Amino acid sequence: MIVSRKLAAAGSLASLVLWAAPAAAQDFWSMSCPQLWYERNSIYHERGYCFQTERGIRTFGNAGCVTSNESALGLSSTERRTIALIVQVERQKYCK
C-alpha cells in the first residue's frame, strides 16, 4: 500500500513537471518583443557574453565579459532550451 502511494505521488509529480513546460512558453507569449530580447540576452550576459551591438552594450555592458562566441559560453541544456523557445516566440511574433 505504501509503495503504491509513492508510485502514485511520483506519477503526479511527473505529470506536474510535464505540465509546467508549456506554462513557460505561455509566459513568453505574454511578453513584448523588448521583454523577450531582454530575457534571452540576460542569459548570455550571466554567462559572460561580450555584446557586439550598441543595444546589448548599452543594456548590459561588457565589463567582465569573456567571449563573443555563444558556443563557448558553456550554456546548460536548460538555458539552451529556454533561448530556443524565446527565439521561436520572437520569430512568431515578428520581433526585430
Q: What is 8-48 written as a DSSP string? A: HHHHHHHHHHHHHHHHHHHHHHTS-HHHHHHHHHHHHHHTT
Number of domains in the chain: 1
Residue 18, pLDDT > 90, answer no
Using DSSP, how many helices (H) and how many strands (E) does the chain show?
Answer: 4, 0
Residue 74, pLDDT > 50, answer yes
In whole angstroms, what is the distance from residue 81 CA to residue 91 CA? 15
Predicted local confidence at residue 10, as pLDDT: 42
Instruction: Report which of residues 28 and 3 the model is more confident about.
Output: 28
C-beta of residue 37 within 8 angstroms of C-beta of residue 31: no
Instruction: Report which of residues 38 and 16 the model is more confident about.
Output: 38
Range of the domain at 69: 2-92
Predicted local confidence at residue 11, as pLDDT: 44
